[in-house]
Structure 1
Amino acid sequence: MKYALSFALLTCLPCIAVTTYAEPSQKLPAHQIQVAAAHLTTRIEWQKFPQLNYNNHDLKDSPRSAVVKVQSDEQGQIRSAHIQDSTGLQALDTMLLNAVKASRVKPHISNGMTVPIIGYQVFNFKLTTDAEDLCQYPFASKQWQSQQKEKQTDFKYLSQPILTIDPDDLTTRARTVKFKIHTDKQHRIDEVKILKSSGISTIDQALIHELKGTKIATKRLAKTLWLYKPSSFKDEMQFKTDFCTS
């Protein structure tokens, strides 16, 4: 009896094995991963323009320029920066690369998707000019001019900063800077981001330096006066070639 049962089980094992082997294996669904190609540009739009403080000693008493190759991810974070054309000074190149790596670019949008960027940015470094040779350039942004004409605006500057500009920076053509300001709880400008550079770093830096600390006024509803909400606004300013020479 035991023998017969064992024999019956043995004769069924091949059937079980065959049945198991014959079942089709389950396959996981295939997922297609789309990897967008990087956008190549020679006109980088910056969310946070590289901030570099330097003096004549850093330039070894000679004007300098450089071209930096920049690679970012889809969010605008700088992933790598390399000197394409050197300033001729290793220490200055290093300072420049550190400033670029701490900045952010505006992501490029293609077919509704943000894609990485590979771009090139030119930087010019000029020697500091004696104070008596500098030009006092009144702040006259697009927003400022609108409020002077009593047009309705989202915010108002409560004072007019005076920028110190080197006249040589405006000899070739007019320069335009697009920027975004951010205010603190006291409605003072505590951050200035360059969205589109003038192409001259000293002009950009003069604008940033003089705007910081300036107070603005914004429209608030009576029922929300007790709430604090950080404010950010965009503006732009053109620097004319004939202002400092007239």
Structure 2
Amino acid sequence: MMKTSLYITLLFGLSATHLYAKPPQQKPTPKATLEVQKSAALPAHLTTRLAWRKFPQPKYKNEDLNQQNRAAIVRIYADETGKISQATIQESTGLKKLDDALLQAVRTAEIQPTYVEDTAVPTIGFQSFNLRFQDNQHEDCQFDFQSKQWLAQQQQQKVQFKYRSQPQLNLSAEDLKNHSRKLKFQFKVNKHGEVKRVKLTQGSGQYALDQQVLAAVKAAQVDVPRQFWLYKKSKLKDEIYFDLNTCDAQEQS
């Protein structure tokens, strides 16, 4: 009888120990640990040409330039996802109000993430800004996204693909540096119509202008006919022309 009681007590003790034992902590997988170690070990990527996902759009008026052209260089630090975490003035416009406007615009912008050995790393880069004082009739002339495909789409013409909505773009004659500009580009989309890769095939001659257009395309969504995927597995192409002469037409109207 004593042996039986001892056996039952032992079983109860083992069950209680199992019931109240602290559950084992789940360790991170070796792959996740390795990725964190690799990202932490790799230094920030330094570049003088940033690839923008969302280009800075500084807000200022022509009179803020105080009757002359202004230029500045902003030093930018972005994290692994492309979000701007730090922005400082490397070379000033000479006007604090303008410098602050540039910094505010940069902090709300985003760059394309940088990868080293298939691992996303922080990016340190520099972006120059050239703000031209407008003393002519083109001061208030604005340009939006009026590409060849978009115009054909609006005219109900047969097109290779359709933008779901007009890509967001707001340029001035100042951005064109008082010259008409033309760009050609091609891009790929996934099955959801999201733009995944954009390549410039003909630049405008103005790097900042090119980056603003590419950023607008990257944020766009398109619809592609099913037969295009079946028989024409190539890149989508488009082009856009900014005609400064349209500013003169606007002034006369």
* Inter-partner Cα distance in structure 2 for 1:45 and 1:53: 21
Q: Does 1:66 align with 2:68?
A: no
Pairs within 5 Å for 1:110-189: 110-128=116-134, 130-131=136-137, 140-141=146-147, 143-144=149-150, 147=153, 150-155=158-163, 165-166=172-173, 169-170=176-177, 174=181, 176=183
- Assess if the C-alpha contact under 8 Å between 1:133 and 1:166 holds in 2: yes
User: Which is greater in Rg?
Assistant: 1
Q: CA deviation at 1:174?
A: 3.7
- Assess if the C-alpha contact under 8 Å between 1:46 and 1:105 holds in 2: yes
TM-score, structure 2 as length reference: 0.52
**SS class of match (1:122):** strand
Q: In the alignment, what sits opposite 1:104?
A: 110
Q: CA deviation at 1:239?
A: 3.7
Pairs within 5 Å for 1:1-246: 33-34=37-38, 35-128=41-134, 130-131=136-137, 140-141=146-147, 143-144=149-150, 147=153, 150-155=158-163, 165-166=172-173, 169-170=176-177, 174=181, 176=183, 199=207, 218=223, 237-239=239-241
Could you give the per-residue CA deviations for residues 61-114 of structure 1, whole angstroms, max 9, x where no partner exists? Answer: 211111111111101111211111110111211121121112111111222111
Q: In the alignment, what sits opposite 1:188?
A: none
Could you give the per-residue CA deviations for residues 134-171 of structure 1, whole angstroms, max 9, x where no partner exists? Answer: 7686854253267576232143668xx9x885289355
Q: In the alignment, what sits opposite 2:196?
A: none
* Inter-partner Cα distance in structure 2 for 1:138 and 1:82: 30
Q: CA deviation at 1:49?
A: 1.4
Shift in alpha-carbon separation, 1:89–1:175, aligned structure 2, 3 A: farther
Once the two structures are aligned, what percentage of the paired residues are identical?
31
Tell me, which stretches of 5 or more residues in structure 1 are unaligned? 1-29, 181-194, 209-215, 222-233
* Inter-partner Cα distance in structure 2 for 1:39 and 1:73: 10
* Inter-partner Cα distance in structure 1 for 2:108 and 2:159: 38
- Number of residue-to-residue matches in the alignment: 180
**SS class of match (1:127):** coil
> Counterpart of 1:116 in structure 2: which amino acid?
P
Q: CA deviation at 1:46?
A: 1.4
* Inter-partner Cα distance in structure 1 for 2:89 and 2:212: 21
* Inter-partner Cα distance in structure 2 for 1:168 and 1:98: 19
* Inter-partner Cα distance in structure 2 for 1:90 and 1:170: 24
* Inter-partner Cα distance in structure 2 for 1:77 and 1:167: 27
Shift in alpha-carbon separation, 1:141–1:81, aligned structure 2, 3 A: same
**SS class of match (2:161):** coil
* Inter-partner Cα distance in structure 2 for 1:138 and 1:99: 19
TM-score, structure 1 as length reference: 0.53
RMSD: 4.9
Q: Which has the higher helix share?
A: 2
